[in-house]
Structure 1
Amino acid sequence: MRTKTIYLSATSLWLVTWAQLSTAADWEYSLQAGVASMPRYSGSDERTTLPVLGGQIVSPWGIFLDTHTGLGWGYEDDNASFSAYVGASASRKDKKKSGHLGSDRLKGMGDIKSRPQIGVSASYTLGSAILGATLEHALEEDDKKDSGKAFTSLELSIGTNLYDGDYGTVDASLNSRFGDSNYVQTWYGVTPGQAQRSRFRAYDAKGGMVSRGLNVSWTLPISDQTTFSTQLDMQYLSGDAGKSPIVERRMQTSVMGVLNYTF
């Protein structure tokens, strides 16, 4: 009887604690809808306009589900943030698809299929500067295919707030992206097999810097729950990526406008 009483007391204590934790911090939900104009693929001089739709759920314990990054866990305080996640890598079509994705110029190159991806991201505020790093590793899809090998990329950034006032906030950051040999070869290289099927000559791309660029964003609050943000992203393809025969334009620009609703 004493054991049963102790068990019931422990169970009650756990339920009370769980209830307090549940009410102490709320779940957060957000929805995004907008439109973006961007190159059809990295290195293309063709552009496409497509809708931007997304959503995020964040639990009181830091676990999140995000349509852009995937399922993960994150931590944030006044000076630092960290997140780890599992999601899906980017993809590329070798023909135009639904008027938005891919390019006929890549015919014969084959598709780069999306595959499971693991990522970690961290930032640290140092004075007025925000230092950031994101490391992502896409798992192997099929090592016998031209674009099926596992690959890894790293993005480093330094940003700051340019304006914070009645008309919202303006933030800017400089960034550099690096990739291992599989990453650069997958997205910018041309294997002998691809060269036979496409218009491009064979090109063996080595790992290293992929791009460097500038990102500027303006966020305007509409209400306590709604904001509108615009973003300009400019990336200059560097190293072996910039010299690739599939690259028609080194300077790549994207413009995006998104309405965000949080509840």
Structure 2
Amino acid sequence: MSSKTIYLCVTSLCLAPWAHAAAAQDWQYSLSAGVANLPRYSGSNERMTAPLLGAEVISPWGIFLDTDRGLGWGYEGQRASFSAYVGASAGRKDKKKSGHAGSDRLQGMGEIKSRPQLGISASYSLGSAILGATLEHALEQDDKKDSGKAFTSLELSIGTLLYKGDYGSLDASLNSRFGDGNYVQTWYGVTPGQATRSRFHAFDAKGGLVSRGLNLTWNLPISEHTQFTTLLDMHYLSGDAGKSPIVERRLQTSVMGVLKYTF
């Protein structure tokens, strides 16, 4: 399915409930803090532990500003949700630096700089299953650099509630991530120039399936305004991403815990 088709589908999904979203009464604010243990870069067998700090503001009209997605608008109904946002893409360094994704093993590959990113996300509840899709497009930073081209990724997911009771709730979801040629080349490819400066041989990565994964999320309410969330993310690099010479381990796992206060 093309990005234009996805955009039209999720846009039409959200237009009907606009009046309901605009009728919301209160501003919502939240602060979050936690810690994550994850690979130093996608495909690495080195790990890093980093703090997680975040904040979010949601207006009565659905406009939001948060440290994760950026600035956008969203709607959340009984069965469907939608959001569109402008934020910053992820980045990667070619040396080990505290709190930043990257590794000395990537020396010579150059830095993948964060750049403006456009995103749309939608979900729909179908019985006990929740279908989701997130499309993101990072703008061009410099088309003459190895990692400066614009790129696009799409994540599809299906999730369900496994448990809800005295100990909070446990959700599980299966997901697949796809990327265009620039996305896969930026994160997993090795250009001839990068090959001359690094330990890796040249690798022309093609677009397609990037990974398949499983998420487990445990939400534990502590009080009316406070919640603790633990996330276990596992995904297996596929296609050209999995064949990349920079990939040391295809199965990637991340664990994080976050305390969130809403007021």
Q: Settle same-fold status: TM greater than 0.5.
A: yes
Match of 1:117 in 2: 117
Structure 2 vs 1, CA of residues 244 and 62 (structure 1 numbering), >3 Å: closer, same or farther? same
Equivalent residues of 1:49, 1:100 under 8 A apart = no
Q: Tell me what 2:77 maps to.
A: 77
Whole-Å Cα distance in 2 between the matches of residues 24 and 256 of structure 1? 31
Q: How does 1:177-196 map to 2 (within 5 A)?
A: 177-196=177-196
Residue 139 of structure 1 corresponds to 139
- Contact kept? 2:44, 2:247, Cα under 8 Å: yes
Q: Distance in 2 between matches of 1:172 and 1:145?
A: 39
Q: 1:100: Cα distance to partner?
A: 4.5
Q: Which residue of 2 aligns with 1:202?
A: 202
Matched residues in 2 for 1:51 and 1:117: separation? 23
1:34 maps to a residue whose letter is G
Contact 2:51 2:99 in 1 (8 A): no
- 2:88 match: 88
The corresponding residue for 1:155 is 155
Cα distance in structure 2, aligned partners of 1:236 and 1:81: 28
Counterpart contact for 1:108–1:197, Cα < 8 Å: yes
SS of the residue 2:183 aligns to: helix
Matched with 2:241 is: 241
Query: Distance in 2 between the 1:100 and 1:182 partners?
Result: 22
Q: Which runs of 5+ in 2 are unaligned?
A: 1-21
Determine if contact 1:205/1:244 at 8 Å carries over to the other structure: yes
- Partners of 1:23 and 1:153 lie apart in 2 by 33
Which structure has the greater CA radius of gyration? 1
Distance apart, 1:101 and its partner CA = 3.3
Letter of the 1:247 partner, please give it: V
TM-score, structure 2 normalization: 0.91
Separation in structure 2 between the aligned mates of residue 62 and residue 23 of structure 1, nearest angstrom: 10
Q: Distance between the aligned counterparts of 2:110 and 2:29, measured in 1?
A: 38
- Structure 1: where are the runs of 5+ without partners? 1-21
Matches within 5 A, 1:10-89: 25-89=25-89
Residue 175 of structure 2 is aligned to residue 175 of structure 1: yes
CA contact under 8 A between 2:203 and 2:244: conserved in structure 1?
yes
CA RMSD of aligned residues (A): 1.4
- Matched residue pairs, number? 243
Aligned residues of 2:91 and 2:101 also touching (Cα < 8 A): no
Contact 1:36 1:49 in 2 (8 A): yes
Task: Give 1:66 shift.
Answer: 1.0
Q: What's 2:222 paired with?
A: 222
Deviation at 1:24, TM superposition (A): 6.5
Q: 1:191 to 1:115 in 2, by over 3 A?
A: same
Moved over 4 A (4+): none
State the match for 2:14 in structure 1.
none
Code of the aligned partner of 1:158: I
